Amino acid sequence: MTTTVLPTPRDADPLLAPKLRWGIVAPGWIAGRFTTTVHAHTGQRVVAVGSRSVERGEAFAREHGVDRVHPSYEQLVEDPDVDVVYVASPHSHHREQALLAIAAGKHVLVEKAFTRNAAEAREVVAAARAAGVLLMEAMWSRYLPHADVVRRLLEDGAVGDVRLVTGDYGVRTDPPAGHRLLDPALAGGVLLDLGIYPLSFASFVARHAGLGAPTAVHAAGLLAPTGVDAQATVLLDHSGGAQAQVFTSMLTETSRTGSVAGSAGRIELGPDFYAPASVTLVADGRRLVWDEDPLRGHDGLCYQAAALARYVGEGRTESPWQPLDETVAVLETADEVRRQLGVVLPGE
């Protein structure tokens, strides 16, 4: 096909989403970024926070103008003024806390990685489906405006038959001893923390380009002294000869870009492809660029909150842009990568 203009993203204005009342489980760093942008760029409101440390919860509430602090997660999910619960704890705790919110009849947004493994994810998904509440992984990159530009390009066949998908996310972190990234009990390791982004990107492209699930997974990497993964290189095979290359590391900085190469052109994302970013289409002898998102960095977290609110307003129980079965499938791939690397978390 001949492309002369890039498509326009849909549902890009978070201010137009319905107004929901949010409760936050675990007031950490990412919860703070989420609350700041939701209050600044949407009509929604974080009305309550739950923390096992009252002092920490009160400090969070003061900083972000949150009305109520609950001294337990149980009290937070039972709050009648809370419509949706955002689980913002380390992924080692996601299963337990998501199930708690679902049992209370709340809609739930679960921070990435959704759970430690696919078995836990399937349990949480089954509970949400039985309860009839909306459940969604906080893979915020799926809901950014530039992601919909890519989605529409893939569905329109702008690059022809997809041959190669690439994604990398490496950050030299040098975490101190005892840090959650190095702690197997907290589901540490770089794959579930950073690598889940390029893995999810590969799944996103495969879905919208019609590639299907990976037919084979090949992984190699390095382990930290604690036994968690410190670096991983992953090659995914798809039917028809398409492949995806994923790299993640806590040992080195990478460009943090994503790309899709096809028989008729390519799409380039980044830097920081998982956050608000530009899209470049190289095809038909043209180089077209989309870079119109007014938000940057973690301000982009507001888009996933807006998407969830729209889905609730539409009566949905899962995201059409990242169905729950796909969330589970990405974790199945991550499970196989960890198996090949020799990473086993406590209780697995």
Helix (H, G, I), strand (E, B) or coil at 334: helix
pLDDT tens digits, one per residue of 51-81: 999 999 999 999 999 999 999 999 999 999 9
Domain range annotation of the chain: 18-140, 143-311+320-341
Contact residues for 126 (Cβ-Cβ < 8 A; gap 6+) = none
Distance of CA 190 to the CA centre of its chain: 14
Q: pLDDT at residue 12 above 80?
A: no
pLDDT tens digits, one per residue of 303-317: 999 999 999 999 999
- Class of 143-311+320-341 per CATH? alpha beta
- Maximum separation of any 2 CA atoms in the chain, in Å: 60
Q: pLDDT at residue 295 above 70?
A: yes
pLDDT tens digits, one per residue of 317-331: 999 999 999 999 999
Helix (H, G, I), strand (E, B) or coil at 213: coil
pTM (global) more than 0.75: yes
pLDDT recorded at residue 2: 56
Helix (H, G, I), strand (E, B) or coil at 7: coil
Residues 156, 139: Cα–Cα separation, whole Å? 24
Residues 93, 276: Cα–Cα separation, whole Å? 28
Determine the average pLDDT of the residues in 172-183. Answer: 92
Residues 70, 77: Cα–Cα separation, whole Å? 9
pLDDT recorded at residue 74: 97
Residue showing tokens 């996601």: 94
Q: pLDDT at residue 11 above 70?
A: yes
- Residue 241 DSSP code: G
C-beta neighbour count of 347 within 10 angstroms: 10
pLDDT tens digits, one per residue of 104-139: 999 999 999 999 999 999 999 999 999 999 999 999
Which CATH code for domain 18-140?
A: 3.40.50.720
- One fold for both 18-140 and 143-311+320-341? no
Average pLDDT of every residue of the chain: 96
> Residue 333: in which H helix or E strand, if any?
helix 324-341
Lowest mean pLDDT among 10-14, 129-133, 340-344: 10-14
